[in-house]
Chains A and B, each alone.
Chain A
Amino acid sequence: SQKIEQNSEALNIQEGKTATLTCNYTNYSPAYLQWYRQDPGRGPVFLLLIRENEKEKRKERLKVTFDTTLKQSLFHITASQPADSATYLCALDIGGSQGNLIFGKGTKLSVKP
């Protein structure tokens, strides 16, 4: 069965540093992958989508890479701020089943001032 792993349940970093979150998957070849942000008690909010033929995508301080050989996506937040503290979810396209997307457990990022 498809499996998604996000590298750690929690990541603590200092303000101004770059946060790097990892999403690994097995048993599938997704056409694209998405990243979402979720604050406590709120629904997830879409951040970025990267397709299988794209190596890298950027949006402001966010950068996502997608390595289909390693079956891995990296999500970077540069110049991190305390307001970036949240849980970040990766979501994998699995084609025509399960409504197309399955989610990882998320990584809770805490940015300390």
Chain B
Amino acid sequence: DTGVSQDPRHKITKRGQNVTFRCDPISEHNRLYWYRQTLGQGPEFLTYFQNEAQLEKSRLLSDRFSAERPKGSFSTLEIQRTEQGDSAMYLCASTTSGGRSGELFFGEGSRLTVL
């Protein structure tokens, strides 16, 4: 098992374009999280899935953001009509459920730059 994989690692786009990030969690992990991190800040929760069900979305997640996990395995995070304020590192993490104390296994992140 190679851990949590994210693709692409870097994305540069122009304002107004749509972007999509993919996350492949550790295979036996049924819980998957998306976080956003800007320079000098800690990871900020966006949303999480238990299997294919999206259980919670942050109030910070505008309507331009959508996440899916269609078969309970990989997940995608799409940002529509990107804005410069969307520039950040988008981190995916996975863990097993069954208790609230699971450590999160993070991917290396997808860095988005919106010009």
- Listed in ascending order, the chain A residues whose CB lies under 8 Å from chain B are 4, 9, 31-32, 34, 36, 41-46, 49, 51, 89, 91, 93, 95, 97-106
Contacts and interface: CB of A to CB of B under 8 A. Distances in A.
A104 B41 CA distance: 8
B108 A101 contact: no
Given A31-B101, A105-B40, A99 B33 contact: yes
Contacts of B107: 43
Nearest to B48: A99
Contacts of A106: 41-42
B26 interface: no
Interface in B38-60: 40-45, 47-48, 55-56, 58
Contacts, number: 63
Contact of A32 (B45, B47, B101, B108): B101
B108 A31 contact: no
Nearest to B33: A99
A9 B101 contact: no
Given A32-B100, A32-B101, A93-B101, A43 B108 contact: yes
Given A51-B101, A98-B56, A104-B42, 5 more contacts: A43-B109, A91-B104, A100-B100, A103-B35, A103-B44
B101 A103 contact: no
Given A98-B58, A105-B40, A44 B106 contact: yes
A49 B101 contact: yes
Interface string B54-70: 01101000000000000
B56 A105 contact: no
Given A31-B100, A32-B100, A43-B91, A101 B45 contact: yes
Contacts of B45: 98-99, 101-102
